[in-house]
Amino acid sequence: MLEGLQLTPRNKEQQQVIAELFLDLDLRGTAKLTQAEMMMMVCRIIEYEERKTRAQLKAYAKHVGLVPSSFPEYISIFQELDSGDCNALGPRTTKQLMEKYGRVLQPEAFTKFYGQLDTNYSNTLEFPEFLRLLAHLERDKREQEEAELAKEQGQNNKNHKGQNNKKKATPFHCLPPSFEEYLVIWKEDNGEGLKPFEMLKPAEGRSQALLNAFSASTNSLKA
């Protein structure tokens, strides 16, 4: 199970974490896990996967220029746009979002742009792809505002002859790196200090509470 999740312990410290996890789950002290305890192991690993994915996405949002503290807001925006509850956005919703940022592309240009975003060729944009689009639109909006401000300042305060302080805007077709591209970087530093084995360490009292809940539901089914 651990090997499948690429969590095979490779040093003494990692072995200690796994041992602590096993002891935390082996409530009877028999060195063997019951079905309920195995379910707890599965719950812990699922929890680990969810925490790891969230850490990756949050770090990615920061990497592409979004505000880390606004991450819950990005989730809410995505859920509101996902009117079909399919956990993804289609071309129509994507167009509507772009229009809110003042970007209306011709059909051929939009198809090409949408294809750049749809990295897994599903014809929909999932949350990582949505973050990439949102970061792109926010950057484009910011650069346009900066250009307008620079234009106004240039009219009020003319530069010296031959001096050019105009900052070039990023071409709209140039997207931030994709989530898959960023994962290469994330794997090197483990996403803002969240190491896999640290995330598997038992949380005080949590395993017992979950196991009690699981046992109660099992007993109710038997009854």
Local structure of residue 82 (DSSP, 8 states)? -
- Distance from C-alpha of 55 to C-alpha of 65, rounded to nearest angstrom: 16
Q: What is the pLDDT of residue 32?
A: 72
Q: Please return the burial class of 135, using the count of CB atoms within 10 Å of its CB with bins 0-12, 13-18 and 19+.
A: buried
Q: Kindly report, as residue ranges, where domains of CATH 1.10.238.10 are found in the chain.
A: 67-156+168-176
- Distance from C-alpha of 187 to C-alpha of 29, rounded to nearest angstrom: 36
What is the value of pTM for the model shown?
0.69
Q: Please return the burial class of 43, using the count of CB atoms within 10 Å of its CB with bins 0-12, 13-18 and 19+.
A: middle
Q: SS3 for 157?
A: coil
Work out the average pLDDT over 187-195.
Answer: 57
In the predicted structure, residue 148 carries a pLDDT above the cut 80? yes
- Distance from C-alpha of 221 to C-alpha of 8, rounded to nearest angstrom: 35
Work out the average pLDDT over 114-121.
Answer: 94
| DSSP secondary structure of 10-48 | -SHHHHHHHHHHHHHH-TT-SSS--HHHHHHHHHHHHHH
Strand intervals (E) in the chain: none
Pick the CATH number of 67-156+168-176 from 1.10.238.10, 1.10.490.10, 3.30.300.130, 3.40.50.1820: 1.10.238.10
Tens of pLDDT along 163-180?
555 667 788 889 999 999
- Distance from C-alpha of 13 to C-alpha of 15, rounded to nearest angstrom: 5
| Residues 97 and 133: beta-carbon distance below 8 Å | yes
Confidence of residue 162 (pLDDT cuts 50, 70, 90): very low
Confidence of residue 221 (pLDDT cuts 50, 70, 90): very low
